[in-house]
Amino acid sequence: LSNGHPAMISDPVANPRDVYPRDDLPPNVFELPPTGLSPEKRHAAILELEEYVTRKRDHFLGYQANQDQDHYRLDLSRFMESHVNNVGDPFTAGNFKVNSKVVERSVLDYYAALWNAKWPHDKTDPESYWGYTLSMGCTEGNLYGLWNARDYLAGKALITDPESTAQQPRLLWVQAAPPEHLSAEQKENALHPVAFFSEDSHYSLTKAMRVLSVDTFYALGTAKYPKDNPLAPGKPWPKEVPSAAGESGFSADGPGCVDVEKLAVLVEFFAAKGHPILVNLNLGSTFKGAYDDVRAVSERLFPIFKKHGLLEREVVYGKGKDAKPLTDRRRGFWLHIDGALGAAYLPFLRMAAENPNYEYVPEVPIPEFDFGLTVSDQETGRTYDMVNSIAMSGHKWIGSPWPCGVFMTKVKFQMRPPDNPAYIGSPDTTFAGSRNGFSPIVLWDYLAQHSYDKQISMIRDAQRMAHYTEQQLLRLQKTLGRDLMVARTPLALTVRFRRPNERIIAKWSLSSESLKLNPDDPKSPQLDYVHVFLMPWAKPSMIDDLVKDLHAKDAFPSEA
Ligand SMILES: COC(=O)[C@H](CCSC)/N=C/c1c(COP(=O)(O)O)cnc(C)c1O
């Protein structure tokens, strides 16, 4: 950083060029001296970055991000001249007037309708939906959904208080007491939620457990019941709920969806001890694009929830004016749907399957997953809505120039915000402080340009592309006479195959995963996979070019 510039506030301890990753880009072009860059250098840097990003974008197949952004630029670049901030609740105008909340509400209404929630939002109607558009991606949606679940199940105050009036909003006690009728052990556990998610879940779930200090069944089982793993007594607890097994008998070569029976056995263990149950289900898992069977999980867990008084339970959160206990009736379970990828397109695949005009017969039934999924209690005739919350990324299937998404739940599950900052003129009901006001405009513009019919065609095309890709890779496998471990989970938008060399991985931005076939046997073969995701952006020519690269002699390192 010498060449005549004034000294930096602090000198580098080493040369960044020597310590930072060597990427395609020349790092020195982007170094920032105290005087800033000359117009020429700045422009040159911008051109370098543009060339790199567009080159990588034109070969982008490895992640579930739709790189087709061209339809926004012309109409939306005008909003780059303002800071649009939707701070606070989407349904309260607030005092930060440069906002796009009217647009955000239309986007939320759209997904409420698509996901069979009661809309428009009505804060006085516990059954109506509530939601907000995310400033991060689905990681924020998962974090928020699991935070909501934790506090709901742990008896924290809810936003709706049966004794509150608009004139006299009663400050609810922050923490309820456990239901009276329980045994000592059950009372101790009644407000201590236990989380369950499969081994194919995204790492944002583990991150959320750490951030929120929520116990997984593994953490609690290992600490308190080390010898009692109900799946294999005496053996260590599995770290996550096992996924369904493949031909090998292990989940590594399985489809990637949760093993419903094993989930039920683990849930039963903790429900029997009085714990409320928090389950995350995947809708388009990160690596295999698999869909957990939300309907099967709901029906399998329902009798367990009923048996252990978790369908509906009374929590006491204070005493009224007449000193009578104030009770709240809540469910003792929470199903969060991580719909990062699939919540954006599965409704359209279902529409295609249900409308004969589309002449579409899916290879497997289209998974149910939304707020319309109910289970009836045969004894009481009562019907229960089973899904508590859904999160979806906006930058995956839909496509956005930056991470964004949607979180949705129902008013009856909403938490009372931890604080009430008057200066934003709105309840602080979301995760962020400042909230991206541009993302709702991007999502709105996409939905304005893409009718249901158009979106049905797009997901049908993507399914065809996934099938085409699988066939091309199987053909290559035959030509090379080598097992390329080609696999595609039914209805998934991704195809996985044997990891090729680093040059091909970098060119196509391929995401990789290495799995031991039998995790308990150190000598067990390691499966080194990569995958391609067939987003609306992917064209047959890109697949053909990738397959051509995979024909190269050195494309696949020899087996170790
Ligand atoms: C390794 O690939 C990933 O982490 C991609 C994000 C990159 S593509 C946009 N998946 C993110 C993801 C997430 C996190 O979503 P983001 O925070 O938006 O990245 C949540 N749930 C599932 C099932 C996911 O697959």
Q: Whose CA is nearest to atom 18 of ligand 1?
A: 137
**Ligand 1 pocket residues where CB is under 6 Å:** 63-65, 136-139, 142, 202, 204, 282, 285-286, 338, 340, 393, 395-396, 403, 511
Atom of ligand 1 nearest to the CA of 405: 18
Packing angle between helix 260-271 and helix 294-307, nearest 10 degrees?
Answer: 20
CA–CA dist 258, 104 (Å, integer): 33
CA–CA dist 118, 275 (Å, integer): 30
Mean pLDDT of 311-332: 81
Mean pLDDT of 524-544: 94
How far is the centre of ligand 1, averaged over its atoms, from the C-alpha of 340 (Å)? 7
Is the pLDDT reported for residue 144 higher than 60?
yes
Mean pLDDT of 320-346: 90
Phi then psi for 391, rounded to 5 degrees? -125, 145
How far is the centre of ligand 1, averaged over its atoms, from the C-alpha of 349 (Å)? 21
Residue keyed to tokens 């901030």: 85
Residue 362 CB coordination number (10 Å): 13
How far is the centre of ligand 1, averaged over its atoms, from the C-alpha of 91 (Å)? 28
Atom of ligand 1 nearest to the CA of 283: 23
Reported confidence tier of residue 180, pLDDT bands at 50, 70, 90: confident
Q: Whose CA is nearest to atom 25 of ligand 1?
A: 286
How far is the centre of ligand 1, averaged over its atoms, from the C-alpha of 291 (Å)? 15
Q: Can you read off the two tokens belonging to residue 307?
A: 């048996």
How far is the centre of ligand 1, averaged over its atoms, from the C-alpha of 237 (Å)? 26
Q: Whose CA is nearest to atom 7 of ligand 1?
A: 63
Phi then psi for 518, rounded to 5 degrees? -115, 100
Reported confidence tier of residue 185, pLDDT bands at 50, 70, 90: confident
CB of 523 closer than 8 Å to CB of 54: no
pLDDT reported for residue 161 = 62
CA–CA dist 168, 162 (Å, integer): 12
pLDDT reported for residue 3 = 58
Phi then psi for 455, rounded to 5 degrees? -70, -30
CB of 463 closer than 8 Å to CB of 289: no
Mean pLDDT of 513-520: 91
Mean pLDDT of 143-148: 98
Mean pLDDT of 80-103: 96
Is the pLDDT reported for residue 448 higher than 90?
yes
SS3 content of the chain, % helix, strand, coil (to 5): 35, 15, 50
CB of 482 closer than 8 Å to CB of 553: no
Mean pLDDT of 129-137: 98
Q: Can you read off the two tokens belonging to residue 95?
A: 């005092």
Helix (H) or strand (E) holding 498: strand 494-498
- The pick from 138, 205, 407 for probing ligand 1's pocket by mutation, whose C-beta has the most ligand atoms within 8 angstroms, reads 138
Average pLDDT, the chain: 92
pLDDT reported for residue 168 = 52
b/e map 525-544, b = 16+ CB within 10 Å: eebbbbbbbbbbbbeeebbe
Q: Can you read off the two tokens belonging to residue 7?
A: 């000294």
ipTM here: 0.98
Sign, Cα dihedral of 225, 227, 233, 239 = positive
CB-based contacts of 15-18 (< 8 A; 24+ apart in sequence)? none
Question: Which of 297, 290, 237 is CA-nearest to residue 263?
Answer: 297
Q: Are strands 526-533 and 494-498 parallel, antiparallel or unpaired?
A: antiparallel
Q: Name the DSSP class of 47.
A: H
Q: Please, how many CA atoms are within 13 Å of residue 331, restricted to the half-sphere of its CB?
A: 19
How far is the centre of ligand 1, averaged over its atoms, from the C-alpha of 509 (Å)? 15
CA distances 273 to 182, 220, 227, 308, 309, Å, are 10, 12, 16, 9, 11
H, E, C per residue of 99-153 = CCHHHHHHHHHHHHHHCCCECCCCCCCCCEEEEEEECCCHHHHHHHHHHHHHHHH
Atom of ligand 1 nearest to the CA of 63: 8
Q: Can you read off the two tokens belonging to residue 281?
A: 């289900």
How far is the centre of ligand 1, averaged over its atoms, from the C-alpha of 112 (Å)? 22
Q: Are strands 313-319 and 325-330 parallel, antiparallel or unpaired?
A: antiparallel
CA–CA dist 422, 265 (Å, integer): 47
> How much of the chain, in percent, has pLDDT values that exceed 70?
95
How far is the centre of ligand 1, averaged over its atoms, from the C-alpha of 202 (Å)? 7
Mean pLDDT of 372-398: 97
Mean pLDDT of 523-544: 94
Packing angle between helix 203-212 and helix 138-153, nearest 10 degrees?
Answer: 40
Mean pLDDT of 514-525: 91
How far is the centre of ligand 1, averaged over its atoms, from the C-alpha of 344 (Å)? 14
User: Strands (DSSP E) along 268-416, which ranges?
Assistant: 277-282, 313-319, 325-330, 333-338, 374-376, 383-385, 389-393, 405-410
pLDDT reported for residue 6 = 61
Which range has the worst mean pLDDT, 151-165, 395-409, 427-441, 524-538? 151-165
pLDDT reported for residue 40 = 97
Q: Can you read off the two tokens belonging to residue 398?
A: 């839909």
Q: Whose CA is nearest to atom 11 of ligand 1?
A: 286
How far is the centre of ligand 1, averaged over its atoms, from the C-alpha of 138 (Å)? 7
SS3 of 456, please?
helix
472-501 tens-digit pLDDT: 999 999 999 999 999 999 999 999 999 999
394-416 tens-digit pLDDT: 999 999 999 999 999 999 999 88
205-253 tens-digit pLDDT: 999 999 999 999 999 999 999 999 999 999 999 999 999 999 999 999 9
Residue keyed to tokens 């609306």: 536
Q: Whose CA is nearest to atom 3 of ligand 1?
A: 286
Sign, Cα dihedral of 337, 343, 347, 352 = negative
Q: Are strands 277-282 and 194-196 parallel, antiparallel or unpaired?
A: parallel
How far is the centre of ligand 1, averaged over its atoms, from the C-alpha of 187 (Å)? 37
pLDDT reported for residue 461 = 97
CA–CA dist 488, 470 (Å, integer): 7
Reported confidence tier of residue 79, pLDDT bands at 50, 70, 90: very high
pLDDT reported for residue 495 = 98
How far is the centre of ligand 1, averaged over its atoms, from the C-alpha of 495 (Å)? 17
- The pick from 136, 396, 436, 439 for probing ligand 1's pocket by mutation, whose C-beta has the most ligand atoms within 8 angstroms, reads 396
Most confident stretch, 94-98, 429-433, 436-440: 436-440
Atom of ligand 1 nearest to the CA of 286: 25
- The pick from 198, 201, 204, 431 for probing ligand 1's pocket by mutation, whose C-beta has the most ligand atoms within 8 angstroms, reads 204
Is the pLDDT reported for residue 1 higher than 50?
no
Question: Which of 371, 352, 364 is CA-nearest to residue 289?
Answer: 364
- The pick from 57, 64, 397 for probing ligand 1's pocket by mutation, whose C-beta has the most ligand atoms within 8 angstroms, reads 64
Atom of ligand 1 nearest to the CA of 533: 8
Concatenating the DSSP letter of every residue in 74-108 gives HHHGGGGGS--B--S-TTS--S--S--HHHHHHHH
Packing angle between helix 101-114 and helix 439-449, nearest 10 degrees?
Answer: 50
Q: Can you read off the two tokens belonging to residue 435?
A: 């909230």
Mean pLDDT of 541-560: 91
Q: Which residue has the higher pLDDT, 40 or 168?
A: 40
Which range has the worst mean pLDDT, 30-34, 322-326, 404-408, 454-458? 322-326
pLDDT reported for residue 169 = 53
Is the pLDDT reported for residue 382 higher than 90?
yes
Mean pLDDT of 337-358: 97
How far is the centre of ligand 1, averaged over its atoms, from the C-alpha of 467 (Å)? 23
Atom of ligand 1 nearest to the CA of 201: 23
